[in-house]
Structure 1
Amino acid sequence: MSPCCHSTDTPRSSAFRRASVSVSNDRSYSLACEYRSRVIRASSCIRSRGGGPRAVKQVCQWLPPSFILPSSPSARYHPDMSETLRDSRERAGLSQAQLALRSGVAQPNIAAYESGRRNPSAAMVDRLRSAMRPLPHEALEQHREELKELAAKYGLSNVRVFGSAGQGTDTAQSDLDILVTRSPHVGLLTIAEFSVVAEQLLGVAVDVVTDGGLPADHPILRSAVAA
């Protein structure tokens, strides 16, 4: 491969200067940047071989119609993203300080993202949205009776909680650990199905343990509390 294909020089053609971005989310932007990177490398090769601006413009046409190159850092940020983050946080009933505590992201940074002064990466958006989800013990409080009714439909009873959710030390990354008593006819597939449906109900990851095989002095039995 010719050394020119590794050039990092950015073409300054009018095609790049006039480009703007219109993407619906950070994932789309990341894909657009990937296309842009390929175009920059290819167009550098063309220019080094005397292709000129016209050849560079032809390379830009390789992009799909839905992806147009960002011309400035400010264009990277979708105008609705700041409102989306703010609205999501408010719907979760969290202040910026509470979201900062849950996510580990500094509150001034969250404020800058919501105002549009800073552009969060796709990973940062995922991190913040994950932290906006209810904590396992909060989800349990909201759907306590529904969870018990759901368990009964699957032949499960005596629903209890253990682990961090039972101790009130759970975080946005915690699971809801549930201890149940199963009827004799209930098998592993039924328990697995209950776990999936419970996750859909609560909006958090759920781990289900049955008490049938646990010795009387098992730590789970000692720490479990009624749901």
Structure 2
Amino acid sequence: MSDDQDTVTRLRAQAHAADELHERSRRLLVDAVRSGLAAGLTQREVAAAIGRSQPEVSRLQRFQGRSGRGRVVVRNRSKIVALAAARGATNLRVFGSVALGTDTSESDIDLMADIAPGTGLFALARLERELGDLLGSKVDVVPARGLREHLAERVLTEAVPL
């Protein structure tokens, strides 16, 4: 029985190590794609550089959701996009701790969006409330054009298309 337990323990350890390697390799690939795109390469150029297809680069570019909150965002992506569009917000991008996968139970979900002309603060506040209800967390929606200069570089660097 001891040999069986040793084998099971060893298998669990190997599977855990494989899972960690898989997650690390995925993060490296996503970071490489985002780095290439941030440097101004097209998806096609990035795909050629990393030996992947352009559709895979497009998929890797999107928000992956590494944390619990991030996975909630990914699961509700289509509902988030629909709610936002109904309130005049498009081209949603996740930034901040949720985008980085460092969020805690105290973190909010930060979204940057292109806001249609004529969309007022009440519509944005309503959108934040509706998204908060949907996701079970406080949500901040920041207009892309309204970024304060001292925050813009950090936000634009972290921002990942939803």
Structure 2 distance, partners of 1:168, 1:149, is 24
1:221 aligns with 2:160: no
Identify, as 1 or 2, the structure richer in helix: 2
Deviation of the 1:217 alpha carbon: 5.4
Structure 2: which 5+ residue stretches go unaligned?
Answer: 1-66
Larger radius of gyration: 1
Which deviations, in whole Å up to 9, do the C-alpha atoms of 1:33-58 show, x marking residues without a partner?
xxxxxxxxxxxxxxxxxxxxxxxxxx
Partner of 1:159: 92
Paired residues of 1:135 and 1:174 also in contact (CA < 8 A):
no
Partner of 1:137: 70
Deviation of the 1:213 alpha carbon: 2.3
Give me the TM-score of the superposition, normalised by structure 1. Answer: 0.39
Aligned residues: 94
Give me the TM-score of the superposition, normalised by structure 2. Answer: 0.54
Structure 2 distance, partners of 1:142, 1:148, is 12
Deviation of the 1:147 alpha carbon: 0.2
Structure 1 segments of 4+ aligned residues over 4 angstroms from their partners:
none
Structure 1 distance, partners of 2:105, 2:156, is 24
Which deviations, in whole Å up to 9, do the C-alpha atoms of 1:27-82 show, x marking residues without a partner?
xxxxxxxxxxxxxxxxxxxxxxxxxxxxxxxxxxxxxxxxxxxxxxxxxxxxxxxx
> Which residue identity is paired with 1:184?
P
1:149 aligns with 2:82: yes
* Cα RMSD after superposing both structures: 1.8
Structure 1: which 5+ residue stretches go unaligned?
Answer: 1-133
Structure 1 distance, partners of 2:86, 2:130, is 11
Partner of 1:179: 112
* Higher RCO (CA-CA < 8 Å; seq separation 6+): 2
> Which residue identity is paired with 1:189?
F
Structure 2 distance, partners of 1:136, 1:204, is 8
Deviation of the 1:184 alpha carbon: 0.4
Question: CA distance change for structure 1 residues 163 and 217 in 2, over 3 Å: closer, same or farther?
Answer: closer
Structure 2 distance, partners of 1:200, 1:217, is 27
Identity %: 36
Structure 1 distance, partners of 2:88, 2:104, is 30
